[in-house]
Chains A and B, each alone.
Chain A
Amino acid sequence: MQGILRLYAFVLIAVLLLWSTAGAIEKQAYQTTSDAIIVYNWGDYIDPGLISKFEEETGIRVIYQTFDSNEAMLAKIAQGGTPFDVAVPSEYAVSRMIAEDLLIPLDLKAIPNLKNIDQRFLNQSFDPHNRYSIPYFWGTVGIVYNAHVLGEGAIKSWNDLWDPTYRNSILLVDGAREIIGMALNSLGYSLNDTDEAHLLAAKAKLDELTPNVRAIVGDEIKFLLETDEATIGVVWSGDAAEIMSENEAFDYVIPEEGTNLWFDNFVIPKTARNIPGAHAFINFMLDAENAAINTEYVGYATPNLAAHAYLPEDVRDDPRFYPDASVQEKLEVYRDLGKVMLGRYNELFLEFKMHRK
């Protein structure tokens, strides 16, 4: 009896000791006074060389952490365990974070390089006057297709995907907004449509696409298309750029009917401890030369107009990634539809997935 109780006491003490040590170590790791910042970004979404350069120039240490969905990022910031100083949410997540009071207003005077950003990408509906956010990269949702197999220019619009000759050839990205939005666009509706009849029409139209759909997948879509598993993919433009650099047969189109225009944005969340450091980091990334280096690494389109001077011509003049004004008119930014409507989108998407050939 004595022995057992002593064992319990020993285990308890050991646990407490380990716990406090772990706590102390963690605290030290996140010791974000003036010498470090914690950056929270999507995986593989920054040139690591720039982080070292920033550290050398400013003496501020960067702790870099990654997330793989806006929702995961939101949950972690709302929970507040880690003192993130800079985060990079997509536009609809920015509006949700503003609504939930998770962001600190930016001090634009501390970010003089803001002048480098293209006016067209400022003052968007999700954050009027850029009080909380500055665009990092932007892009579209579109179609990559194997031009060697299907022929150059075989696909121009969303509706081309419904061609019965493409049986079992299409990979879709696993996102309710993207795929329901595609169906809405193909019918001529807005991809922010909340009219139940329009949504049902979109779902019915998607069901008709089922015979052509090979699979609905996540990040694997890049690797699957690169290895010629399928000839057509509905993807974000950045993924398309990556696929095209690995497999030359592929080409990217922005569908004629219009599609989504998205932004990933720098924000400073409420969890920030080193606010001047966060501003310095954002300003550093907006520097024309740095932005150009980063753009070449990441492959998405940069909103940084001044950076264009440092980019190779074939990159900045590529209409697939830097579409001209007439195409841009048809692009739409996702509005935050609210939890209930998003739930409806997801339910319809789930039903579409369950629809069998």
Chain B
Amino acid sequence: MTRTLKWTLLAPYMLWIVVFVIIPIALIAWNSFFDLEGRLTLDNFVRFFSPTYLKMSFISIWYAFLITFISLLVAYPTAYVLSRTRHKQLLLLLIILPSWVNLLLKTYAFMGIFGMYGLVNAFLSLFGIPAQEILFTDFSFIFVSVYIFIPFMILPIYNAMEEMPRGLIEAALDLGASQWTVIRRVIWPLTLDGVKTGIQAVFIPSLSLFMITRLIAGNRVITLGTAIEQHFLVTQDWGMGATIAIVLVLMMVVTMRFAQATPRA
């Protein structure tokens, strides 16, 4: 391929990257150096390291961790079983299908399901259990988040499972490895890349969740995403909003480094 041809092919994507990735990030970084009165300052970063925002960061990371961990816990065995059933395509479709439905719609549906007079409480009342407060609790928040993110965890793990040669497991069993040893020494290491991709796909967006925090958690869970929304739309403190966004970008870089798929030799 000649050089000119290569550059001609690349040009549209390069343009895309510059206009929609590099310039916006630069603009956010630029904004983060201005305070409410439009003065050039490092104040926003100092403010970020105040107890309020540190606590918020900690809360965000903690909930993102819980969401990711529970997703993984559910997704891993699911992906394993999925790769070994006969109706793979159908089951896979059923897992992906909900992600075609608008997020807001799903969230509103859960408000109905978890409500005092919702489906879950109607079911519980069949057994004489009084109505429980489910909506606006940590449980409902994590449940709905996991529900929304789980396809993104299952898919990469499933792909990794599919790529794994079956013969390896049979060979390990033939050579006397126990079931547990096979899982630990063969299946897990061979699907680790899928797991890492899944973690990236779930952890990073959960760090900046904002709409679900209001609709399902009733603003009892405040993540960095919520704070950004507030600063941009209500306070109009673009500087502080941009600062939080920059810190989030840095956090994501760190996550990517930790959860990077190991390059194949």
A220 within 8 A of B: yes
Which residues from 228 to 253 on chain B have a C-beta closer than 8 Å to any C-beta of chain A? 230-231, 233-237, 240
**Chain B residues in 8 Å Cβ range of A168:** 133
A109 contacts partner chain B, Cβ-Cβ < 8 Å: no
Chain A residues within an 8 Å CB radius of B240: 343
Whether the pair A215, B237 counts as a contact (CB closer than 8 A) is no
Which one of B73-81, B173-181, B212-220 is at the A interface?
B212-220
A29 in the interface, Cβ–Cβ < 8 Å?
Answer: no
Pair B233/A69 contact, Cβ less than 8 Å? yes
Contact of A354 among B37, B115, B222, B235 (CB under 8 A): B222
Question: B36 in the interface, Cβ–Cβ < 8 Å?
Answer: yes
Q: How many residues of A are in contact with the other chain, CB < 8 A? A: 32
Q: Which residues between 181 and 233 of chain A lie within 8 Å of chain B, taking CB atoms?
A: 214-218, 220, 224, 227-229
Which residues of chain A are within 8 angstroms of B237 by Cβ–Cβ distance?
339, 343, 346
For residue B210, give the distance in angstroms from its CB to the closest CB of chain A: 12
A116–B111 Cα distance when bound, in Å, is 44
User: Is A220 a contact of B219 with CB atoms below 8 Å?
Assistant: no
B129 at interface, CB cutoff 8 A: no
Q: A228–B222 Cα gap in the complex (Å)?
A: 25
Cβ contact within 8 Å between A176 and B234: yes
Q: How far is the CA of A39 from the CA of B220 in the complex (A)?
A: 37
CB contact between B117 and one of A227, A346, A350, A353 (< 8 Å): that residue: A227
Residues of the A chain whose Cβ atoms lie less than 8 Å from the Cβ of B52 = 347, 350-351, 354
Taking a contact as CB atoms closer than 8 A, the residue among B12, B36, B133 that contacts A214 in the complex is B133
CB neighbours of A217 from chain B (8 A): 214-215, 218-219
User: Are the CB atoms of A354 and B55 closer together than 8 Å?
Assistant: yes
Instruction: Choose one: B215, B227, B234; the contact of A71 (CB below 8 Å).
Output: B234
* Number of B positions contacting A (CB below 8 A): 36
In the complex, which residues of chain B have a beta carbon less than 8 angstroms from the beta carbon of A8? 8, 11-12
- State A174–B215 Cα separation when bound (angstroms): 11
* Interface membership of chain B positions 94-111, coded 1 if the CB is closer than 8 angstroms to chain A and 0 otherwise: 000000000000000001
Closest chain A CB from B228 CB (angstroms): 11
* A346 to B233 CA separation, bound complex (whole angstroms): 11
B144 interface residue (CB < 8 Å to A): no
Q: A215-B219, A215-B220, A354-B59 are in contact. Are A229 and B214 (CB under 8 A)?
A: no
Contacts of A120 in B (CB 8 A): none
Docked pose: A224 CA to B222 CA in angstroms: 21
- Inside 8 A of B111's CB, which chain A residues have their CB? 220, 224
Q: When the two chains form the complex, which single residue of B9, B117, B214, B234 contacts A4, counting CB atoms closer than 8 Å?
A: B9
Closest beta carbon of chain B to A43's beta carbon, Å: 16
Known: A1-B4, A351-B52. Is A214-B136 also a contact (CB below 8 A)? yes
8 contacts between A and B (CB under 8 A): A1-B8, A4-B5, A227-B116, A228-B117, A339-B235, A340-B36, A342-B236, A346-B230
Give me 17 other A-B pairs in contact (C-beta within 8 A), A5-B8, A214-B133 excluded: A4-B9, A8-B8, A8-B12, A71-B233, A71-B236, A217-B215, A217-B218, A217-B219, A227-B117, A229-B115, A229-B117, A339-B236, A343-B237, A346-B235, A347-B235, A354-B52, A354-B59
A interface residues with partner B (beta carbon < 8 Å): 1, 4-5, 8, 69, 71-72, 168, 171, 174, 176, 214-218, 220, 224, 227-229, 339-340, 342-343, 346-347, 350-351, 353-354, 356
